Amino acid sequence: MIELIRQGGILMYPLGLCSVLTVAIFLERLWRFLLADRDPALVIAEARRALAEGGNPRPRWEDRPAPAVRAAGAALSRAGERRSVVEDHVRSTLSREALRLGANLGIVGTIGNIAPFIGLLGTVTGIIRAFRAISVVGTAGPAVVSAGISEALVTTAAGLSVGIVAVVAYNLFVVWQARLMRRAEIVATEVLSLVAPEA
């Protein structure tokens, strides 16, 4: 691995940083998204139970980091108030949850966009190095150009690899986030109709 980094030249260091960031954010977001995934039917049933018990209705797992649960908790916390007040509170909660789920995804998306270009820059610098070696030596033997070509190929492969992984991770989480928020909206609509039915 160290030898591969040496062959790729100085641009392998930013690519290495990009790969570490991508893996770290992927694992952190994966954990968060798994915790945030809740079945809407179970959340709605829990909200009905909380309302049926009377008093200050609160779902048992209101503090769970799931948008659907927090949307239900937001609606239940305003039970008995005007529908417009409850709707505003739920809408604000959903917006906060969307921001929370999307944290750091922009970094992964940016890495997915720039990593191939860093690899391309490595290709260009490697070719420049090869031609410089030719101009100094005056002949174009394999030994003269091999270092520059090796740098170009290694950096290009690394840039493409990091970029592909980052783009796949980004798209996975964007789709997953949309699904979680849609589930939260379904829960919010159902619970809203329970705590503040339309006149």
Task: Answer yes or no: is pLDDT of 17 > 80.
Answer: yes
Q: What is the spatial distance between Cα 64 and Cα 183, in angstroms, rounded to a whole number?
A: 15
Q: Would you state the pLDDT for residue 9?
A: 73
- Tell which wins on pLDDT, 56 or 166: 166
| The model's pTM | 0.83
The amino acid present at 12, given as its one-letter code, is: M
- Closest residue by Cα to residue 161 from 127, 118, 124, 104: 118
How does residue 11 score in pLDDT terms, banded at 50, 70 and 90?
confident
Each residue's pLDDT tens digit, 86-109: 899 999 999 999 999 999 999 999
Domain extent at residue 77: 2-195
Given CA atoms 13, 105, 161, 126 in this order, what sign does their dihedral have?
A: negative
Given CA atoms 169, 172, 175, 178 in this order, what sign does their dihedral have?
A: negative
- Tell which wins on pLDDT, 143 or 186: 186
Share of the chain above pLDDT 70, in %: 83
Q: Would you state the pLDDT for residue 159?
A: 92
Given CA atoms 140, 146, 147, 151 in this order, what sign does their dihedral have?
A: positive
Task: Answer yes or no: is pLDDT of 7 > 90.
Answer: no
Give yes or no for a contact between 9 and 147, defined as CB atoms under 8 angstroms apart: no
Give yes or no for a contact between 76 and 191, defined as CB atoms under 8 angstroms apart: yes
How does residue 115 score in pLDDT terms, banded at 50, 70 and 90?
very high
> Within 13 Å of residue 158, how many CA atoms lie on the same side as its CB?
29
How many folded domains does the chain comprise?
1
Residue 156's Cβ-count burial label (10 Å; 0-12, 13-18, 19+) is buried
